[in-house]
């Protein structure tokens, strides 16, 4: 994996981001103090169970938090030095697509079923290209070819339901890169793909990154994808990052009990077991979080100090973990 130069200014810097939803049952802390930097050409993986706040982090960056219940209540999001939380709606419309783009996890909900593939790709291209229709159609076909869709000129006339799930996902990818974004957010883009198509799609994303120098935020449940795709990883639980590290140190030395539990949950094909390991219990409700560490009720290492939220401890350079086990106060035997 290529070494990323982090000495310069980050392309995207998220600082103490907090996105809350105000509901009848209480305040849902969907994102609760997230911070990370993303540099050109870097791929950040965000992993965690469903409901941990991964997708809402992406929606917050794009300024698409559902209204009126959702609100970004704190933090900063700097993109190329500009605080996106201070940007006007018109400025954000310009940034979406050309600066930061997103590949949704379900292409059927991303594509309009009543319009052809060609019209939807051209709609994105038209935002920055005012040429004749024939030229835009030629550009759209070239985009489909770039994402390895066969017979792209013919596919321009197809409707979403006439294409396979893998083809639709590639179309969504083509729309996402149509305006050459600096940051590409991929929200579980391989969930509905079979293994062969998944490998092709991941290879395609890497090729696009190598060609354009774009940074990628890859949201996924699949630790295997993280190992092969990402340079850095943020492990998310109950709206917070509980561990951050470069990909190799994270896999070599997972330091938070939640990260360790996720690693154990990945089956080893070379070992016969009667039951697959799992994480006991369920993630907490985000409108009724336990005091202190949210993972403590499910953690085999929990002790009395876990009733207060842990500090951020440095495991090694660039590797942090939010767990009291790394403090001098932890005395319970592992």
d(CA 165, CA 155) in angstroms, rounded, equals 14
Helix (H) or strand (E) holding 165: helix 165-177
- Which residues of the chain are under the pLDDT cut of 50? 333-334
| Coil, helix or strand at residue 61 | helix
Question: Residue 326: which of 235, 231, 253, 261 has the closest Cα?
Answer: 253
242 close to 250: Cβ distance less than 8 angstroms: no
| CA angle (238, 260, 44) in 5-degree steps | 65
44 close to 93: Cβ distance less than 8 angstroms: no
d(CA 70, CA 28) in angstroms, rounded, equals 9
pLDDT, residue 329, reads 66
| Coil, helix or strand at residue 313 | strand
pLDDT, residue 333, reads 45
pLDDT, residue 127, reads 84
User: Which positions ≥6 away from 161 have C-beta within 8 Å?
Assistant: 113
pLDDT, residue 334, reads 44
pLDDT, residue 90, reads 93
d(CA 41, CA 4) in angstroms, rounded, equals 7
pLDDT, residue 97, reads 86
pLDDT, residue 252, reads 94
Query: What does pTM read for this prediction?
Result: 0.90
Task: Give the dihedral sign, CA 176/182/183/189.
Answer: positive
Q: What is the pLDDT of residues 252-270, one digit of tens each?
A: 999 999 999 999 888 777 7
What is the DSSP secondary structure assignment for residue 314, as one 8-state letter? E
d(CA 309, CA 306) in angstroms, rounded, equals 6
d(CA 200, CA 177) in angstroms, rounded, equals 17
pLDDT, residue 41, reads 92
Q: What is the pLDDT of residues 213-262, one digit of tens each?
A: 899 999 998 898 899 999 999 999 999 999 999 999 999 999 999 999 99
Tokens 């395609």 sit on residue = 204
Tokens 């080893």 sit on residue = 268
Cα R_g (the chain), whole angstroms: 21
């Amino acid at each position: 994996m290529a070494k990323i130069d982090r000495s310069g200014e980050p392309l995207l810097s998220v600082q103490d981001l907090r996105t809350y939803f105000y509901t009848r049952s209480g305040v849902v802390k969907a994102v609760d103090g997230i911070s990370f930097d993303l540099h050109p050409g870097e791929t950040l993986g965000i992993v965690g169970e469903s409901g941990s706040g991964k997708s809402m982090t992406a929606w917050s960056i794009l300024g698409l938090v559902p209204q009126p219940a959702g609100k970004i209540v704190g933090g900063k999001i700097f993109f190329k030095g500009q605080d996106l939380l201070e940007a006007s709606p018109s400025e954000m419309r310009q940034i979406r697509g050309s600066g930061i783009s997103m590949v949704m996890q379900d292409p059927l909900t991303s594509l309009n079923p009543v319009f052809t593939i060609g019209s939807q790709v051209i709609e994105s291209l038209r935002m920055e290209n005012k040429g004749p229709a024939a030229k835009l159609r030629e550009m759209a076909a070239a985009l489909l070819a770039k994402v390895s869709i066969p017979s792209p000129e013919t596919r321009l006339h197809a409707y979403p339901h006439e294409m396979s799930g893998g083809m639709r996902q590639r179309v969504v990818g083509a729309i996402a890169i149509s305006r050459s974004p600096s940051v590409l957010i991929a929200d579980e883009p391989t969930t509905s793909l079979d293994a062969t198509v998944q490998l092709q799609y991941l290879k395609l994303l890497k090729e696009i990154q190598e060609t354009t120098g774009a940074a990628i935020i890859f949201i996924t449940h699949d630790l295997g994808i993280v190992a092969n795709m990402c340079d850095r990883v943020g492990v998310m639980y109950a709206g917070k990052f509980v561990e951050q590290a470069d990909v190799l140190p994270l896999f070599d030395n997972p330091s938070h009990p939640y990260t360790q539990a996720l690693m154990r949950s990945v089956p080893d094909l070379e070992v016969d077991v009667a039951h697959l390991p799992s994480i006991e219990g369920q993630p907490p409700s985000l409108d009724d979080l336990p005091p202190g560490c949210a993972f403590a009720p499910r953690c085999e290492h929990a002790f009395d100090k876990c009733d207060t939220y842990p500090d951020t401890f440095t495991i090694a350079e660039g590797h942090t973990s939010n767990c009291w086990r790394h403090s001098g106060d932890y005395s319970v035997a592992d």
